[in-house]
Chains A and B, each alone.
Chain A
Amino acid sequence: MKNGTKNGTRRTTLTLPINALIAAERIAEKRKVTLSVVVSEALEKNLHAEADAKREIERRMQAFEAGRRAFAGLTDEEMFLLDGVIMEPTDE
């Protein structure tokens, strides 16, 4: 045991909203697990969601930058063609 840790866990004291605590206790009772299990699962899930959201924003910005590079600096005529407008020379 180092710094009070045991099997990758550490005892601590938290102050939680009463409603959230009551809900967590009910889940623990229903699933026949400890309150610590329910709270740590919820915490891990939230932390993963936050990391996923951050990765998603990075992915979106990379996609946006790729889109900008695809069309940056094109002339109107070149952009027409990429917009699906196909113009042929006239004899006029």
Chain B
Amino acid sequence: MASYAQRHLVHVSAITVMERMRGFALSMQREAPGQREHLALRRQHYRDSLGVVRPVDAAVALYAGELSALLPQPPTPPKRSHRALESRQDRLFRWRCDILIAATALVAAMPLIHNNPRDFETIRMAIETSPERFPTLGPLNLVSVLRLAV
């Protein structure tokens, strides 16, 4: 991953930034006041790590809309662990975030580095099987973060 970051300028979707910042904010809300400093420091590191942040512009919104119509429901169920469960509403929100992130990479013609193969592979296949809905775009190239870690 370090050598990839050295060779390539990594762009980040504004949607990814929103998800991360929401995660940091929720984590901080859940911590006791005295325990929040380490999270604030991590959040600052995250902000320092951001390179180019790509916005959701008209083209991204247009193709995210196409993808949302093609794939209205997430391909995997809500996450669950031993005694906790993700709500359907949160799962759908996360799915739509993934669609916006994929549309951003598609419009930018950049490979998408991800840690969520099942969801993004579903999006990649939808683009490949309906090329008429994404003229002059695609394919969506996926790169697993696990592959970069090797």
Interface residues of A (CB under 8 A from B): 56-57, 60-67, 69-71, 77-78, 80-90, 92
Contacts and interface: CB of A to CB of B under 8 A. Distances in A.
B41 to A, nearest CB: 8
Contacts of B81: 77, 87
Given A82-B23, A83-B19, A84-B23, A90 B46 contact: no
Given A64-B1, A80-B79, A86 B86 contact: yes
Contact of A86 (B9, B26, B83): B26
B45 A70 contact: yes
Given A64-B2, A84-B93, A88-B87, 14 more contacts: A63-B48, A63-B49, A63-B50, A64-B5, A66-B48, A67-B49, A82-B20, A82-B27, A85-B86, A85-B90, A86-B87, A87-B80, A89-B84, A90-B85
Contacts of A92: 83
Contacts of B49: 63-67, 70
B43 interface: yes
Interface residues of B, number: 34
Contacts of A71: 42, 46
11 contacts: A60-B6, A60-B9, A66-B48, A70-B49, A81-B27, A84-B19, A84-B93, A85-B79, A85-B94, A86-B26, A86-B90
